[in-house]
């Protein structure tokens, strides 16, 4: 857990929290602090049978991307990310891989654009939220195709749990649909995500917003924002307040307790019991 500091981009870092899914040994979430801004990345290892290692590992992908970002050039963060991914792609020559086995990552990133404007970039289902000084809140990015695809898989997962009474068996029965959805990454009818094969400059969604001194910005992976988007345990405002002024670990305890008690995925239908959860709270200086 990281506490208050100011980044080179002038964004005041108030808090960072991240927790690994209890079902995994290593988190696939990453946080990037750079001279351009701040971002949260949510890795997704390729859906393969057996060991998930090497070029199918999301940690490999993000480690490579972060490494090459160090020497990347460009006017904006997304220019530098594009250059870094191009370098990663040069070392990723796997045309034999089915699309659903390719590692990928969601992302949400903020950088100052000048004149009180801030540029937000999104890939996949990472999200940004604004809590303004007057207490009003706003979600930065609207739902897209990925949310629709997720809902298809969730409905199928719920039906399979109802039929089998076994979450593991239901997950196995739902995997073909999950793989099919994953194969639509960066296609005309699919969703946009970070992969070693595709230029994020083309696929990333960008939104510029006017922010004022004192406004708060919450960057989060889907495992964290489930607190208020899916589980109903918090609101955006209450989560931000607890991150800044309360006990951030209380949020994580509440999150994991809900997931522990919802082992059959009935209170909040989803395709897996746990997920990595990461959030970064920023203040506009």
More confident residue, 29 or 10: 29
pLDDT one-digit tens code per residue, 54-108: 556 899 899 999 999 999 999 999 999 999 999 999 888 665 678 888 889 999 9
pTM value is: 0.94
Which two tokens mark 180? 């099919």
CATH number, domain containing residue 133: 3.60.40.10
Distances (CA, A) of 77 to 21, 110, 117, 170: 29, 9, 15, 41
Question: Is the confidence at residue 19, as pLDDT, over 50?
Answer: yes
Chain Cα centroid distance, residue 102 = 17
Confidence of residue 52 (pLDDT cuts 50, 70, 90): very low
Number of neighbours of residue 269 by Cβ within 10 angstroms: 16
Digit-coded pLDDT (tens) for 214-240? 999 999 999 999 999 999 999 999 999
Q: What torsion do the CA atoms of 197, 203, 207, 213 make, to the nearest 10 degrees? A: 0
Burial of 89 (0-12, 13-18, 19+ CB in 10 A): middle
How many domains are there within the chain?
1
- The boundaries of the domain holding residue 207 are 5-284
pLDDT in the model for residue 178:
96
| Beta strand 127-131 pairing with 216-220 | antiparallel
Reported as type and span, the H/E element at residue 108 is strand 104-114
Give the C-alpha separation, 100 to 231, whole Å: 28
Q: What is the pLDDT of residues 154-189, one digit of tens each?
A: 999 999 999 999 999 999 999 999 999 999 999 999
Structure-derived torsion over alpha carbons of residues 16, 21, 24, 29, reported in degrees to the nearest 10? -40
Q: What is the mean pLDDT of residues 138-158?
A: 97
pLDDT surpassing 90 at residue 53: no
pLDDT mean over 110-126: 96
Cβ-contact 164, 173 below 8 angstroms: yes
Rounded CA separation 277/239 (Å):
13
Tell me the β-bridge partners of 151.
none
């Amino acid at each position: 857990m990281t506490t208050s500091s100011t980044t080179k981009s002038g964004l005041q870092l108030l808090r960072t929290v991240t927790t690994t899914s209890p079902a995994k040994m290593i988190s696939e979430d990453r946080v990037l602090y750079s001279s351009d801004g701040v971002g949260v990345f949510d890795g997704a290892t390729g859906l393969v049978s057996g060991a998930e290692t090497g070029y199918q590992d999301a940690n490999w992908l993000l480690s490579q991307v972060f490494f090459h970002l160090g020497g990347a050039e460009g006017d904006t963060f997304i220019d530098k990310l594009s250059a870094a991914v191009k370098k990663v792609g040069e070392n990723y020559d796997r045309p034999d891989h089915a699309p659903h086995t390719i590692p990928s990552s969601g992302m949400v990133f903020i950088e100052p654009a000048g004149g009180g404007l801030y540029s937000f970039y999104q890939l996949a289902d990472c999200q940004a939220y604004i809590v303004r000084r007057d207490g009003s809140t706003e979600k930065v990015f609207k739902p897209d195709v990925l949310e629709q695809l997720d809902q298809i898989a969730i409905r199928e997962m719920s039906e399979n749990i109802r039929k089998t009474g076994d979450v593991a068996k239901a997950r196995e029965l739902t995997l073909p649909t999950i793989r099919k959805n994953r194969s639509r990454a960066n296609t005309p009818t699919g969703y946009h995500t970070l992969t070693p094969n595709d230029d994020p400059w083309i696929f990333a969604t960008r939104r510029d917003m006017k922010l004022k001194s004192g406004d708060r910005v919450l960057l989060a992976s889907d495992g964290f924002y489930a607190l208020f988007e899916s589980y109903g345990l918090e609101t955006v405002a209450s989560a931000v307040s607890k991150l800044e002024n309360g006990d951030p670990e209380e949020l994580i305890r509440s999150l994991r307790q809900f997931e522990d008690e919802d082992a059959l995925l009935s209170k909040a239908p989803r395709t897996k019991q746990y997920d990595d959860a990461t959030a970064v709270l920023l203040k506009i200086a």
